[in-house]
Amino acid sequence: MAVSWRSWLANEGVKHLCLLIWLSMNVLLFWKTFLLYNQGPEYHYLHQMLGLGLCLSRASASVLNLNCSLILLPMCRILLAFLRGSQKVPSRRTRRLLDKSRTFHITCGVTICIFSGVHVAAHLVNALNFSVNYSEDFVELNAARYRNEDPRKLLFTTVPGLTGVCMVVVLFLMITASTYAIRVSNYDIFWYTHNLFFVFYMLLMLHVSGGLLKYQTNLDTHPPGCINLNRTSSQNISLPEYFSEHFHEPFPEEFSKPEEFTQNTFVKICMEEPRFQANFPQTWLWISGPLCLYCAERLYRYIRSNKPVTIISVISHPSDVMEIRMVKENFKARPGQYIILHCPSVSALENHPFTLTMCPTETKATFGVHLKIVGDWTERFRDLLLPPSSQDSEILPFIQSRNYPKDDWKPYKLRRLYFIWVCRDIQSFRWFADLLCMLHNKFWQENRPDYVNIQLYLSQTDGIQPLDNRLTVGAVVEENSCRWFEQKFPRGRKTVGVFCCGPNSLSKTLHKLSNQNNSYGTRFEYNKESFS
């Protein structure tokens, strides 16, 4: 089925525009820096010594500066939540783009890895060229102490070399621990190694302070490539005069006089020796702002997290699901938001986001989350709250009323909610069934029974027969989704929001379906649950 341009622009347009801007910035920085070090007169002598390695190392460093500054911004969660929730960003498409912050963080990380490889390879060539092309005329420009010095000494005895090696090690640990297999098997390894980025940035600031690469400062009095005649000033003289004064060998036979060889040709003559100075470390200008912003946010998170949270109820549900209900002073949240749980008794630094399944209102301060016991952190958290003898029981009992508060639904423009839930086995429905029944009864009390339409899909049959028309057994998600949308959204319904919370395979399928043409003329705006 062909792609619908209306749906594609709604779901992908702004994202691809931002990606194009980001790519353009990287290409422009790389090319501009490459040309500067390749053709710039201030780097003439340094380029003669190092060659192409100089251009590649500095061009890749510019790209690294940009991405090392941008990679921190998607991790400023409080800032993103402020922009998303306070209507500071009026466009709905732009607000949805903020949910892609984690993807942008990963994109910047991959770019840092690639150009770090280019940067390291170029500097290995530079270290060799510093040793082989040692210049006795411009001693100040040399990084090596003598000709043919072991290049490994430049890597392990200089500040840029040693910090560069350490950064490569730290970056390698962060990359390997960020793979999907390690994150799933042991999230602690991923979390602790990812916090090494503080070490990475400290090493980066030291790395740029070495001053090995230098540029010429006296271009006016010593033009690059000029001829030194041991005079006190620079002047223009003709080549015949220069040849007659300084060359006593016979001229080539085809030229009887020097004037016939270089008529009207001039060469720049200078006396003053070139002066060199180390480059100003521009990396500080790139990363200082985002780094300070991120550190300030981490400090704010730490201060805010010190406010006590009271757990009033812990409920164990089937299928290894645990529900936690809590109370915190002055805590406010809206439906669809998530909270970050941090338990020092489980892990000193590790924390995890969970979507709120119960939000505080004006009449009740209780909020709650449901946790699927998957991974070592949730297992330790469950063992801390629910001892083994208390499984399948509610502890810290809390007397709760079955009266449903009259939440204010007027600010929401939602006309109807279609809840589609796909599970592998029927036991997975049990832990959430009570909450769905509460929601269903609530809308019946408010005389809105058709506001929520619930459809349940069971992917494994095992001889199960559906007892309700809401349960479909052995359904194929792609085919049923198409037919279901055809029936539920007739021609004339302009925009339908699709919100997916599930595995990536299901998300990719729904994302693809949302971008396709449909016979009912509806634009589907696709949204994926994102803890960013």
Q: CATH number, domain at 373?
A: 2.40.30.10
Same domain as 338, residue 434: no
The size of the chain, in residues, is 532
Question: How far is the CA of 274 from the CAs of 17, 146, 227, 232, 236, in angstroms?
Answer: 47, 20, 12, 13, 18
Q: Tokens 């003289």, residue? A: 237
| Residue predicted with more confidence, 286 or 81 | 286
**Which residues share a beta bridge with 527?**
499
User: What band does 114 get if pLDDT is binned at 50, 70 and 90?
Assistant: very high
Distance CA 493, CA 110 (A): 41
Closest CA to 220 of 277, 275, 284, 160: 275
478 touches 507 (CB < 8 A): no
Nearest to 68 by CA among 99, 28, 111: 111
Q: What is the pLDDT of residue 393?
A: 38
Judge if 438 and 518 occupy the same domain.
yes
Range of the domain at 134: 15-158+210-218+276-299
- The predicted-structure confidence for 292-308, as pLDDT tens digits, reads as follows 999 999 898 888 877 88
Q: Does 369 share its domain with 295?
A: no
Residue 279 identity (one-letter amino acid)? N
Q: Which helix (DSSP H) or strand (DSSP E) does residue 293 occupy? A: helix 283-305
Neighbours of 434 (CB within 10 A): 12
Q: Which of 49-63, 280-294, 510-524 has the lowest mean pLDDT?
A: 510-524
Is residue 421 domain-shared with residue 364, that is, in the same domain? no
Query: Domain boundary at 267, 299, 331, which?
Result: 299
For the cut 60, the answer to whether the pLDDT of residue 345 exceeds it is yes
pLDDT at 410 over 90: no
Tell me, yes or no, whether 263 lies in a domain: no
Please name which of 379, 320, 380, 332 lies closest in space to residue 356, comparing C-alpha atoms: 332
The residue that leads in pLDDT, 246 or 18, is: 18
Residues 23 and 104 in one domain: yes
The answer to whether residue 261 scores a pLDDT higher than 90 is: no
pLDDT band at 409 (very low <50, low <70, confident <90, very high): very low
Helices and strands (H and E) in the chain: how many: 19, 16
- 293, part of any domain: yes
Total count of domains within the chain: 3
Kind and range of the H or E element at 125? helix 101-132
* Mean pLDDT, rounded, of the chain: 79
pLDDT for residue 66 is more than 90 = yes
pLDDT at position 471 is: 58
